[in-house]
Chains A and B, each alone.
Chain A
Amino acid sequence: AEAEAEAEAEAQIDSELDAQAKYNKDTEHNNHNPIKPYHERSWKITIHTLGSTYTRQEQNEMRSKFSFLQFPGPVQMKHPDDEYLFIREVELDAMGGAVYPRHCKGEDGKTKKELIPENDARPPLACYFGRVLGNGTLGRNWRGSNRLFRYSLKKRTYLGPTSMDSELSLIMTNLAKVQKGSFAFDPFVGTGSILLTAALRGAQTFGTDIDLRVLRGRNPNENIVSNFQQYGLPPPELVRSDNSIYHRHFRKHLPLFDAIVTDPPYGIRAGARKSGSRRGDGEVRPVLEEYRYDHVAQTRPYAVSDVMADLLNVAAMTLVMGGRLTYVIPSMLDFNEEEDLPRHDCLKVVSVCYQPLQTELGRRTVTMEKVKEYDDRKRDEYLEGTWVNGPQSAEKVANIRERLIEAAKKKPGYEEKAAWRKQKRKETKEAKKRAKLEGAERSQFQVNQFNRR
């Protein structure tokens, strides 16, 4: 029986090597490294213990626990063929620190000193072990290409201050279950960065925005459509419209979208706007017929509480049953997921993923699913029921930039820092000016040299 098992194992290895040889032959014309056979592949185990620190010795003890796997190849810490990841997950607080830290903080509040035995003995929330398929550094998959890097914003022809980084866009479209054949919608499409990842996943895409300049881009070679062309994707459908009056731009239609993925404006970098006169007195001047062609319609500020209420309502109205809405919402520490998230009778919260950005600021990626058919007659009811705690919840996410600046102003040393920053900016500006003049002189000198010849 043993001999049989051995023979079987050998046959298995032979067939794998055959497949390997065939693969090597097929990829010979590619310049990538052919896949090494399993027993030659170098490897290492990386330990992730977010929230806790472990000494090198402690980490090696963890590594040795996996020796039973008996990877045949050599261990190689730098650029191994395969990287395995061991993650030891402990409970984290809102700022990304451990709730039960392993070490207590030293007197100066910084250096970690002694071990806290009760905390150290606590079992982890979970442990994960797996092979790394791709990440920022070891991002080469077996084809030799770094998938994320290809879609990095650095390579994009058309960018704006609100473009969403490709990693978060990919995650959002994944959460919204965007796939081949989906119809994906972004009502605040901006530069189209989220819609692009939806198209990457094989979806047909549709985007609207009230801002004409961002829709049109800088020029025909630097706009949303050119971004799509850059990746060989079919172009999105774009409409300049106002999401607060979606039902006035679009006819009543059967639920159309499989996914709505968006980054709504929160008055942080791009203030939200809606149609209508800016005049506070309610008086509207009529637009004379001869000016109508070129008239730039006025828009007025659009409160965050309404932005979210309208977004959820449009989602409830236009998503198919089971379709998903995924959006990001910036929030500070005072945000309570249970009470402050906007709600809709037809939508159920599926997940909330919190990402800390700074000490007090983070962002949440919220995914909701349509579970109930939309009833036209209940429109006002739906809109009013958005904020369980009233519009003050919306205020928590609005104008965070201003609030952060206000908070920073109150901290000691703010004025000195602000003055120092101002001085630095002045110096940089002058250095740039000088460089420009020198450059101009240099090129003029070169022109003169050329002319003399």
Chain B
Amino acid sequence: MRLLTHNFLKSNVKGTENGYPLNIEVTTINCEESPLDKLFLLNLLPKVNYPALRTAVQQISQHCVPPLPEIPEQLDVSDKESNQNLDHETLKNLHRVLFDVYLIEGWLVCPDTGRKFPVKEGIPNMILHEDEI
């Protein structure tokens, strides 16, 4: 599971509205570089929740070897036009954190209820138990 996916996952156990963003507990993590797809990234950025991305990066950064690059503390990504003016270094770093980090084993924890969603073999299991629906 990459941070791209994590950015969209939430917990809705028993209808909680505060299940986003999920906290990440890392057991095993992998990093694999991939080439920057600028077109795709620019298309994607306005849809990304940036504060959630930044928090996620902070939560997993210590487990990554080499450590993850710094991304700006605040960034308004909502405007496609202004995103095109982002410098190459920032775009590269954004690409790196969104696409190149794979959580293989770990947990996604609901910030409201504490419910832990397991991540095994890179696949998060979001299925709610029958008493959580």
Q: Which of B2-10, B57-65, B66-74, B81-89 contacts A (4 or more CB under 8 A)?
A: B2-10
Interface-central residue, A245, A249, A255, A295, by most chain B CB under 10 Å: A249
Tell me, yes or no, whether A286 is within 8 Å of chain B by CB: yes
Alpha-carbon gap, A285 to B121, bound state (A)? 29
- Which residues of chain A in 224-248 are interfacial with respect to chain B, using CB atoms and an 8 Å cutoff? 225, 234, 237-242, 245, 248
Whether B9 and A250, one on each chain, are in contact in the complex, defined by CB atoms closer than 8 angstroms, is: yes
If the complex has contacts A234-B34, A253-B8, A276-B133, are A212 and B125 also in contact, measured as CB distance less than 8 A? yes
Whether B125 and A295, one on each chain, are in contact in the complex, defined by CB atoms closer than 8 angstroms, is: no
- Neighbour of A284 across the interface among B10, B123, B130, CB < 8 A: B130
Tell me, yes or no, whether A106 is within 8 Å of chain B by CB: no
Interface-central residue, B37, B43, B47, B130, by most chain A CB under 10 Å: B130
Contact indicator per residue, chain B 1-34, by CB within 8 Å of chain A (1) or not (0): 1101100111010000000100000000000001
Residues of B within 8 A of A277 (CB): 130-131, 133
Whether A276 and B10, one on each chain, are in contact in the complex, defined by CB atoms closer than 8 angstroms, is: no
Whether B133 and A275, one on each chain, are in contact in the complex, defined by CB atoms closer than 8 angstroms, is: yes
Interface size classification for chain B: 20 to 34
Tell me, yes or no, whether A216 is within 8 Å of chain B by CB: yes
Tell me, yes or no, whether A220 is within 8 Å of chain B by CB: yes
Residues of B within 8 A of A286 (CB): 131
Whether B8 and A250, one on each chain, are in contact in the complex, defined by CB atoms closer than 8 angstroms, is: yes
Tell me, yes or no, whether A153 is within 8 Å of chain B by CB: no
Total of A-B residue pairs, C-beta within 8 Å: 99
Tell me, yes or no, whether A297 is within 8 Å of chain B by CB: yes
Alpha-carbon gap, A299 to B130, bound state (A)? 8
Residues of A within 8 A of B75 (CB): none
Residues of A within 8 A of B120 (CB): 216
- Which residues of chain B in 35-69 are interfacial with respect to chain A, using CB atoms and an 8 Å cutoff? 37, 39-40, 43-44, 46-47, 49
- Neighbour of B44 across the interface among A183, A240, A250, A251, CB < 8 A: A183
Q: Shortest Cβ distance from A392 into chain B, in angstroms?
A: 28
Alpha-carbon gap, A238 to B123, bound state (A)? 6
Residues of A within 8 A of B40 (CB): 181, 183, 204
Of chain B, the residue at the smallest CB distance from A234 is B34
Residues of A within 8 A of B125 (CB): 212, 240
Alpha-carbon gap, A277 to B129, bound state (A)? 8
If the complex has contacts A183-B44, A275-B127, A284-B131, are A249 and B12 also in contact, measured as CB distance less than 8 A? yes
Interface-central residue, B39, B120, B128, B129, by most chain A CB under 10 Å: B129
Q: Shortest Cβ distance from A209 into chain B, in angstroms?
A: 10
Residues of A within 8 A of B37 (CB): 181, 204
- Neighbour of A295 across the interface among B12, B20, B129, CB < 8 A: B129
- Using CB atoms and an 8 Å cutoff, list the residues of chain A in contact with chain B: 181, 183, 204, 206, 210, 212, 215-216, 220, 223, 225, 234, 237-242, 245, 248-251, 253-256, 275-277, 284-287, 292-293, 295, 297-299
Query: 9 smallest A-B Cβ distances: which pairs?
Result: A248-B12, A277-B130, A254-B47, A251-B10, A240-B125, A241-B126, A286-B131, A237-B5, A181-B39
Alpha-carbon gap, A223 to B121, bound state (A)? 11
Residues of A within 8 A of B49 (CB): 251, 253
Q: Shortest Cβ distance from B95 into chain A, in angstroms?
A: 12
Residues of A within 8 A of B130 (CB): 275-277, 284-285, 287, 297-298
Tell me, yes or no, whether B122 is within 8 Å of chain A by CB: yes
- Using CB atoms and an 8 Å cutoff, list the residues of chain B in contact with chain A: 1-2, 4-5, 8-10, 12, 20, 34, 37, 39-40, 43-44, 46-47, 49, 118, 120-131, 133
If the complex has contacts A297-B127, A297-B129, are A239 and B9 also in contact, measured as CB distance less than 8 A? yes
Whether A240 and B123, one on each chain, are in contact in the complex, defined by CB atoms closer than 8 angstroms, is: yes
Alpha-carbon gap, A255 to B10, bound state (A)? 17
Residues of A within 8 A of B43 (CB): 181, 183
Q: What are 30 A-to-B residue pairs whose CB atoms are below 8 Å?
A: A212-B125, A215-B123, A216-B121, A216-B123, A220-B121, A237-B5, A240-B125, A242-B126, A248-B12, A248-B128, A249-B12, A249-B126, A250-B10, A251-B9, A253-B8, A255-B47, A256-B8, A275-B127, A276-B130, A284-B130, A284-B131, A285-B131, A287-B129, A287-B130, A287-B131, A292-B129, A297-B127, A297-B129, A297-B130, A299-B127
Residues of A within 8 A of B5 (CB): 206, 237, 239
Alpha-carbon gap, A239 to B22, bound state (A)? 14
- Neighbour of A253 across the interface among B2, B12, B47, CB < 8 A: B47
Whether B10 and A210, one on each chain, are in contact in the complex, defined by CB atoms closer than 8 angstroms, is: no
- Neighbour of B123 across the interface among A181, A239, A254, A292, CB < 8 A: A239
Residues of A within 8 A of B128 (CB): 242, 245, 248, 275, 297
A237-B1, A248-B10, A284-B130 given. 13 additional CB < 8 A pairs?
Answer: A181-B40, A183-B44, A212-B125, A216-B121, A234-B34, A245-B133, A251-B9, A253-B8, A253-B49, A256-B47, A284-B131, A287-B129, A293-B118
Residues of B within 8 A of A206 (CB): 5
Q: Shortest Cβ distance from B34 into chain A, in angstroms?
A: 6
If the complex has contacts A206-B5, A234-B34, A256-B47, are A251 and B20 also in contact, measured as CB distance less than 8 A? yes
Q: Shortest Cβ distance from A310 into chain B, in angstroms?
A: 15
Residues of A within 8 A of B4 (CB): 237
